[in-house]
Amino acid sequence: MATEKIARQGLTVRHVGVVITMALTLLTAVGIVFTAAGLCYRPVSQHFGVQTSQVSLYITFVYLGQCIGAAPMAKLFDRFNAKTVCVVAALMVVIPYMGFCVYPAIWCYWVAGFIIGLGLVCVEFTMTAGILSRWFHTNYGTVTGIVFAMTGVGGVVWNIIGQFVLGPDLQGWRTLYMVFGVAIAIGTIPFIAIFVKRTPQECGTLPYGMPLDAAAMEAELAEEADKKAIQEPGFAAKDVLKMPFFWTLVLGAGLLNTITTMSQLFATYVQFLGHEGWGGQALVALLLLSGTLEAFASAGQGGGKVLIGFIESRSVLVAQIIGYAGGVIGLCMMWWLPKLFGEAGIWPMFCGGLFYGLAYACSTAMLPFIVREVFGGRDFDKIYSWMIMVFNGIGALGATGWALVSENFGWDGFFIGGIAVLTITFGLLGYTWIAGDKARRKTWFKSDAELTAEAHKAEIKAEA
């Protein structure tokens, strides 16, 4: 007799609205704050008469706000009305961001950056994880992947739009901040106010994919609880602290995040080429294209996530080689092509952004995969959280560090430094995988072939 198919909760307008809300939040708030930051570094530094590094320092404060605000925002989200907390968090991003066009001193940018970070950690992580996990019983991973892909889309869209608002003389920076601030407000506040509910039950529906029958639902939830109760194989968190390849992982992860923050200076680099150029030969064709290189880099990291994810499931080392080679080739193309060929090298330079995106993609597509594969699922959440703390901490330094490098050592130093950091980073990650794979095979890990052989032996034993 065929097993009766269980009726499950399908998609409703409310489910779709929740996904759209999260997607627009990442497209606007995260896409603008991080991927389009570099567009205004140069004109703002000229306006206040300060170095570019003092302007980019506000992004460091955004990272610090996220680090400090993660735990408090999670507690507020759990304790109070989710919609209210998320709307307030969105306002904490929108209002300080709009203020960029009127602040009287550069230190105001730093204070604003910290406040933005406090709000952004809620709408980027707390809200997205806290809401989607409750609204989607099945396909949660797929929906989360779609939502977070919007940050890459935002990098393309907002840099292309921003370069035209900014103008060839870069005098439109105040207007650009206001346009971006309004975009963040439209993409977050009304949708959060309409669609955000902590649970679908508050709207009279169930999580997507949940059985509609009460008995079937309870049985399925009980089965999932039993699976969670079974300890997954892997290293205990307290033991990994004694392993050298754990420390090479966290250091490599942090350095990899500094590679991603390099892209925030790409617009400033293109503005340098358009106004001064190598050897005083300004590439005037770039005056209206200051955001295009970062847009190409965002597109490259979006496609790179898919490619790296596909390859690493077959060979982590090959994926690392591709990420490293892509990063080096991309940086060399950005560095040398406009230097050697002038205006003829502009569009090939932009294509260098696509290659660079392969290294950028490793920060999100590869790191969680390595953590789970090397250390197992036993204490994955705790080990991954430790890595993320270092990842964000070192990344916060990189946001200002690269501006300091370009100021003190020029753009040659910027690209040489990038290639050097890439080499160290992937050397550390390569060692992590080789040493970690060796250690796990001696302890908890069993290959598919070994598991199949054990299952076959168990079957033979049962038959006997």
Write the pLDDT tens digit of every residue in 51-83: 999 999 999 999 999 989 988 998 999 899 999
Residues contacting residue 118 through CB under 8 Å, at least 6 positions apart? 65, 66, 68, 69, 73, 89, 92
Tens of pLDDT, residues 275-287: 999 999 999 999 9
The pLDDT assigned to 129 comes to 81
Phi, psi of 208 (to 5 degrees): -60, 130
Dihedral sign (CA 41, 398, 392, 271) = positive
Does residue 224 carry a pLDDT above 70? Answer: no
The percentage of residues in the chain with a pLDDT greater than 70, rounded to a whole number, is: 92
The CA radius of gyration of the chain, in Å to the nearest whole number, is 24
2 burial type by CB count under 10 A (0-12 exposed, 13-18 middle, 19+ buried): exposed
Sequence-distant contacts of 313-316: CB under 8 A, at least 24 apart: 313/369, 316/366, 316/369, 316/370, 316/373, 316/433, 316/437
- If one compares 324 and 142, the residue with the highest pLDDT of the two is 324
Residues contacting residue 194 through CB under 8 Å, at least 6 positions apart? 17, 21
Residues contacting residue 21 through CB under 8 Å, at least 6 positions apart? 191, 192, 194, 195, 196
355 contacts 300 by C-beta, under 8 angstroms: yes
Does residue 441 carry a pLDDT above 50? Answer: yes
Does residue 320 carry a pLDDT above 90? Answer: yes
The pLDDT assigned to 453 comes to 67
* Rounded CA separation 340/327 (Å): 20
The pLDDT assigned to 4 comes to 58
Q: Which of 16, 24, 18 shows the shortest CA–CA distance to 187?
A: 24
Tens of pLDDT, residues 89-147: 999 999 999 999 999 999 999 999 999 999 999 999 889 888 988 998 888 878 888 88
Average pLDDT over every residue of 255-283: 95
Amino acid at 228: K
Place of tokens 């869209």: 157
Structure confidence at residue 178 as a pLDDT band (50, 70, 90): very high
The pLDDT assigned to 173 comes to 97
Structure confidence at residue 254 as a pLDDT band (50, 70, 90): very high
SS3 211: strand
The torsion of the CA quartet 316, 319, 325, 331, rounded to 10 degrees, works out to -110
Place of tokens 């392969």: 358
Structure confidence at residue 294 as a pLDDT band (50, 70, 90): very high
Q: What is the largest CA-CA distance in the chain?
A: 85
Within a 10 A sphere around the Cβ of 88, how many other Cβ atoms? 14
- If one compares 325 and 230, the residue with the highest pLDDT of the two is 325
Does residue 296 carry a pLDDT above 70? Answer: yes
Average pLDDT over every residue of 222-242: 78
Q: Across the chain, what does the average pLDDT equal?
A: 91
Does residue 229 carry a pLDDT above 60? Answer: no
Which range has the top average pLDDT, 60-64, 92-96, 148-152, 217-221?
92-96
Dihedral sign (CA 354, 344, 333, 60) = negative
Structure confidence at residue 221 as a pLDDT band (50, 70, 90): low
342 burial type by CB count under 10 A (0-12 exposed, 13-18 middle, 19+ buried): middle
The pLDDT assigned to 216 comes to 66
0.85 surpassed by pTM = yes
The pLDDT assigned to 2 comes to 46
Range with lowest mean pLDDT among 94-103, 320-329, 409-418, 455-464: 455-464
Does residue 451 carry a pLDDT above 60? Answer: no
DSSP letters of 358-416? Answer: HHHHHHHHTHHHHHHHHHBSTTHHHHHHHHHHHHHHHHHHHHHHHHHHHHHHHHHHHHH
The pLDDT assigned to 364 comes to 82
The pLDDT assigned to 392 comes to 83
Does residue 1 carry a pLDDT above 60? Answer: no
Does residue 235 carry a pLDDT above 50? Answer: yes
Alpha-helix residue ranges (DSSP H) falling in 196-315: 214-229, 237-240, 244-261, 266-275, 292-312
DSSP letters of 24-79? Answer: HHIIIIIIIIIITGGGGHHHHHHHHT--HHHHHHHHHHHHHHHHHHHHHHHHHHHH
Tens of pLDDT, residues 41-57: 999 999 999 999 999 99
